[in-house]
Amino acid sequence: MRRTPPHPPHLPDLRAGLGSGATRASRPRRRRAGDRLPGRGGLRHLWGLPEQDLPNTATSVVSDLRERTPMNETARAEHGLGYAVNAPYYDLIFPAPVRATLEGALQTLLPNARAVAEIGPGTGIFTEALARLLGPKAEIFAIEPARIMRAALMTRLARLPEANVTVLPDDALTAELDVELDAVVLFNLIMHFGPDDRARLWRKWAGALRPGGTLIMETQFPQKATAVPEAIVPGGVLGRHRYDTVARADVIDQDRIRWLMTYRTWAGNDLVRTETADFDCYVISDELLAQELSAAGLVPHPAAPADIQAWQRP
């Protein structure tokens, strides 16, 4: 399974305290299918900046705003940035093959779990899958501090009266539970933690597992800090509109890349709206992850599916 860009990268104050990114939204003039993405002129519409003030590239605009607006992701979402841009598209743009792979991993690894923590569930795609898989006798804790994501999560769960899910507005490094866990699920999450915070994360949640309990995440993409060429990820359809995402990644340094994601709304062949967000992510290879999880006292799960990292407490 080729990993897609984060959907979305979750909150750095929840997971790593990364520097802020920059996002802006606009309603551009109508474009036709096959048109190139907005260039210099398009960025003027996208950012609301006068032509003479525009840097030469989107990356330099992002970097400039990143330096001038040092907010964490929670604060940015409260200001209409970051997750406030991404959240309306989250379910529509999540790739079906990735969803099927991750849901399949839950079915394989957690058929009899009775206490599960899901860290950073976003809008609750996999929270719902867990609730349907495990039934009302299982207790699920969904830990999501982003207000806009939590609103979608709780709306989803309100339609599932049999789901035994407790939603906690806490962060991954400080949330406290009073039960031993059969599993901890961390999908589309760990790329937002730097090395020191990952060490804290592993110690905390490895210690929360009962003996034999499992920590589950997906294999990270890319496996090293390298640029990812621009690609279009198809999305869903709502009424007269269809949605897709244009995604690429640029290298920041040897440990991090920056995903730049443009969410597009189409009416037939007309491009009627674009919204863009960027996210800084740590690159974590399978080898590095194995070193860190072994140091936290975990061992590989013998039944881990392909493209899934599953580790157990002995």
| pLDDT tens digits along 1-35 | 434 455 544 323 223 332 333 333 344 444 444 44
Pairing assessment for the beta strands 165-168 and 139-143 based on DSSP bridges: parallel
Mean of pLDDT values over 165-192: 95
Give the residue with greater pLDDT, 47 vs 241.
241
Instruction: Flag whether 232 is in a domain.
Output: no
Give the residue with greater pLDDT, 149 vs 76.
149
State residue 312's pLDDT score: 98
State residue 106's pLDDT score: 98
State residue 52's pLDDT score: 34
What counts of helices (H) and strands (E) characterise the chain? 11, 13
| pLDDT tens digits along 217-265 | 999 999 999 999 999 999 999 999 999 999 999 999 999 999 999 999 9
State residue 276's pLDDT score: 95
Containing domain of residue 61, as a range? 1-28+39-224+285-314
Instruction: Flag whether 254 is in a domain.
Output: no
Mean of pLDDT values over 112-127: 96
Instruction: Flag whether 24 is in a domain.
Output: yes
State residue 45's pLDDT score: 29
Looking at the structure of the chain, the number of domains it has is 1
Mean of pLDDT values over 163-180: 95
Q: Where are the alpha helices (DSSP H) in 252-301?
A: 286-295
Instruction: Flag whether 264 is in a domain.
Output: no
pLDDT greater than 80 at residue 314: yes
Instruction: Flag whether 244 is in a domain.
Output: no
Instruction: Flag whether 217 is in a domain.
Output: yes
Q: Do 10 and 120 meet the contact criterion of CB atoms below 8 Å apart?
A: yes
Mean of pLDDT values over 158-186: 95
Instruction: Flag whether 267 is in a domain.
Output: no
pLDDT greater than 50 at residue 174: yes
Instruction: Flag whether 274 is in a domain.
Output: no
Cis peptide before 222 (omega within 30 of 0): yes
| pLDDT tens digits along 80-118 | 877 788 999 999 999 999 999 999 999 999 999 999 999
Percent of the chain exceeding pLDDT 90 equals 69
pTM over 0.85: no
The CATH number for 101's domain is 3.40.50.150
